[in-house]
Amino acid sequence: MPVDEGSDQIFALQEQVEQLKEAMASHAVVDQAIGMVVALGRVTPDEGWQVLKEVSQHTNIKLRNVAELILIWGRSGTIPPEIRAQLEDALDRYGPTQIPDAPPER
């Protein structure tokens, strides 16, 4: 194998490893945000995923960025008004899910 070809292959593999690391980090951020939506909105994890997708689509902000803003909100208590409005609208459509064996809400 010529040296240039070996170097190209190493570069391509390093790039692929970086992309996989970024994908794993992004997945963790989205999962944490879904957890917050589930806990705060009393929705199922699948509904939490749908809520994030809808907020992303309605604000034209990438899903990972919406997830990051929700996590920042959890730490700081501040969230951009357009994200908050879309989050509230989406949660109104999906939640709250009735907690099993819980008395009905009054």
Mean pLDDT over 79-95 rounds to 91
Encoding tokens for residue 35? 């957890």
What's the confidence (pLDDT) of residue 104?
Answer: 56
Domain spans of the chain, in order of start? 3-94
Mean pLDDT over 81-87 rounds to 94
Chain length of the chain: 106
What's the confidence (pLDDT) of residue 56?
Answer: 95
Mean pLDDT over 1-23 rounds to 79
Alpha helix (H) ranges present in 1-106? 3-41, 45-59, 63-76, 81-94
Instruction: State pLDDT tens for residues 22-79.
Output: 877 778 899 999 999 999 899 999 999 999 999 999 999 999 999 999 999 999 999 9
